[in-house]
């Protein structure tokens, strides 16, 4: 059970393992892009290549889904980046359900653990497999593995690493359960932190914050939804930034050099904008932005 690209490596790993895949459950096709053409979820596309049955319920509470899964008589569900399963579905597999979560649970329970770990400036995160129960991300831990977060690593880059590592750990977990080498253990109730679903305001840059905090926000919101501010009354996304020398009123353009890029004052410190995206335009290097747009020293971002 899964939908986005993050779940595809696990599907591939399971298909290549000793375990039998009976079906894949994923979200319905959606309209995407400017042309609003129907597009299949990445997991569906991969499942069809493997000639695996695909179920696409409008809701996990659809009685027809429960009936179809019951008829398959599965031993286990594997869940990666999918909807919350109602109790009715959790009761179907004989051995329960295993979930892959990209954090060291109980840290960063919730929908966006990778993004929030980067935004919060964490130096380490990890992956966990655990047994699903009715409480969100609260089941018994099966396996865990820590990973260092790179100094300049974005959430997208970290996700690309963790989904590959997670896929192999899911297979390792299933092998261990089948061979009775793995048993779950309860999560530490004292270490719980949250990683809630993002809202638009989470990506808004507050220039009165320290430069490092803003840099982490930019890293964490890359590639989507993209950290943003405002310039000339329009949204202005910042995809990459690094520390720079300078100080001034927060949000002020301190330098606008076509060979360096724009440097913006923060609450403490300043940031050099390496990659930006004006409203309605493609992302571009900060140097190209300075050369092609009328941004001047003393201008204010976020006003």
What's the pLDDT at 33?
78
Q: Is residue 303 part of a domain?
A: no
Task: Report CA torsion sign: 181, 50, 156, 274.
Answer: positive
Looking at the fold, whether 21 and 136 belong to one and the same domain comes out as yes
Number of H helices, E strands in the chain: 8, 14
Task: Round to whole Å and give the CA distance between 250 and 209.
Answer: 8
Q: Is residue 301 part of a domain?
A: no
Looking at the fold, whether 186 and 206 belong to one and the same domain comes out as no
What's the pLDDT at 280?
94
Looking at the fold, whether 175 and 217 belong to one and the same domain comes out as no
Q: Which domain holds residue 266?
A: 200-292
Yes or no: say if 296 and 256 are a contact pair by the CB < 8 Å rule.
yes
Query: How distant, in Å, are the alpha carbons of 1, 23, 49, 86, 264 from that of 53?
Result: 12, 5, 11, 22, 52
Phi-psi region of 266 (alpha: psi -120 to 50; beta: other; left: phi over 0): beta
Which residues, including other chains, have CB under 8 Å from residue 100's CB and lie 6 or more apart?
Answer: 10, 78, 79, 80, 127, 128, 129, 166, 167, 169, 170
What's the pLDDT at 242?
98
User: At which residue do the structure tokens 């129907």 appear?
Assistant: 38
Task: Round to whole Å and give the CA distance between 249 and 247.
Answer: 7
pLDDT digits (tens, 9 = 90+) for 116-153: 999 999 999 999 999 999 999 999 999 999 999 999 99
Q: Which two tokens stand for residue 293?
A: 């747009």
Of 174, 191, 208, the residue at which a domain comes to its end is 191
Q: Residue 256 forms beta bridges with which residues?
A: 262
DSSP state of 210: B
Of 191, 209, 224, the residue at which a domain comes to its end is 191
Please report, for the domain that includes residue 217, its CATH number: 3.10.25.10
Looking at the fold, whether 127 and 154 belong to one and the same domain comes out as yes
Looking at the fold, whether 259 and 234 belong to one and the same domain comes out as yes
Number of domains forming the structure of the chain: 2
Neighbours of 18 (CB within 10 A): 9
What's the pLDDT at 34?
76
Of 170, 191, 212, the residue at which a domain comes to its end is 191
What's the pLDDT at 35?
80
Yes or no: say if 191 and 108 are a contact pair by the CB < 8 Å rule.
no
pLDDT digits (tens, 9 = 90+) for 288-302: 999 999 999 999 999
Looking at the fold, whether 62 and 180 belong to one and the same domain comes out as yes
Q: Which two tokens stand for residue 47?
A: 């499942």
Please report, for the domain that includes residue 142, its CATH number: 3.40.50.170
Looking at the fold, whether 218 and 253 belong to one and the same domain comes out as yes
What's the pLDDT at 56?
98
Task: Round to whole Å and give the CA distance between 130 and 184.
Answer: 7
From the list 228, 224, 215, 80, the residue with the least C-alpha distance to 153 is 215
What's the pLDDT at 240?
98
Q: What is the mean pLDDT of each run of 10 residues along the chain (303 residues)?
A: 98 98 97 86 97 97 97 98 96 97 98 98 98 96 98 98 98 97 95 96 98 98 98 97 97 96 98 97 97 95 88
Looking at the fold, whether 223 and 257 belong to one and the same domain comes out as yes
Looking at the fold, whether 20 and 145 belong to one and the same domain comes out as yes
Looking at the fold, whether 147 and 264 belong to one and the same domain comes out as no
Residue 237 Cα to chain centre, angstroms: 18
Q: Is residue 89 part of a domain?
A: yes
What's the pLDDT at 131?
98
Yes or no: say if 218 and 237 are a contact pair by the CB < 8 Å rule.
no
What's the pLDDT at 169?
98
What's the pLDDT at 32?
85
Looking at the fold, whether 181 and 213 belong to one and the same domain comes out as no
Task: Round to whole Å and give the CA distance between 169 and 102.
Answer: 11
Looking at the fold, whether 19 and 66 belong to one and the same domain comes out as yes
Q: Is residue 300 part of a domain?
A: no
Q: Is residue 11 part of a domain?
A: yes
Q: Which two tokens stand for residue 289?
A: 């932005």
Q: Is residue 276 part of a domain?
A: yes
Q: Is residue 299 part of a domain?
A: no
What's the pLDDT at 261?
97
Q: Is residue 227 part of a domain?
A: yes
């Amino acid at each position: 059970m899964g939908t986005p690209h993050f779940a595809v490596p696990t599907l591939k790993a399971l298909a290549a393992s000793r375990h039998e895949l009976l079906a894949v459950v994923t979200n319905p096709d959606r309209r995407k892009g400017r042309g609003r053409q129907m597009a299949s979820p990445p997991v569906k596309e991969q499942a069809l290549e493997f000639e695996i049955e695909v179920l696409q319920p409008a809701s996990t509470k659809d009685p027809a889904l429960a009936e179809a899964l019951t008829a398959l008589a599965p031993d286990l569900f594997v869940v990666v980046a999918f909807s919350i399963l109602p109790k009715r579905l959790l009761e179907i597999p004989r051995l329960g359900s295993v979930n892959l979560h990209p954090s060291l649970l109980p840290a960063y329970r919730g929908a966006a653990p990778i993004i929030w770990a980067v935004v919060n400036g964490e130096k380490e995160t990890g992956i966990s497999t655990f047994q699903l129960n009715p409480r969100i991300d609260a089941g018994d831990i099966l396996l865990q593995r820590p990973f260092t977060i790179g100094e300049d690593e974005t959430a997208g880059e970290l996700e690309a690493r963790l989904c590959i590592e997670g896929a192999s750990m899911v297979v390792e977990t299933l092998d261990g359960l089948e061979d009775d080498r793995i048993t779950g253990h309860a999560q530490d109730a004292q270490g719980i932190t949250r990683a809630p679903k993002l809202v638009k305001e989470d990506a808004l840059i507050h220039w009165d914050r320290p430069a490092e905090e803003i840099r982490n926000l930019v890293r964490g919101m890359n590639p989507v939804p993209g950290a943003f501010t405002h310039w000339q009354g329009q949204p202005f996304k910042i995809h990459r930034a690094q520390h720079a020398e300078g100080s001034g009123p927060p949000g002020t353009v301190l330098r606008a050099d076509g060979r360096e890029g724009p440097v913006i004052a923060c609450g403490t410190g300043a940031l050099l904008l390496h990659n930006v995206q004006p409203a309605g335009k493609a992302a571009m290097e900060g140097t190209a932005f300075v050369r092609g747009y009328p941004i001047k020293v003393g201008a204010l971002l976020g006003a």
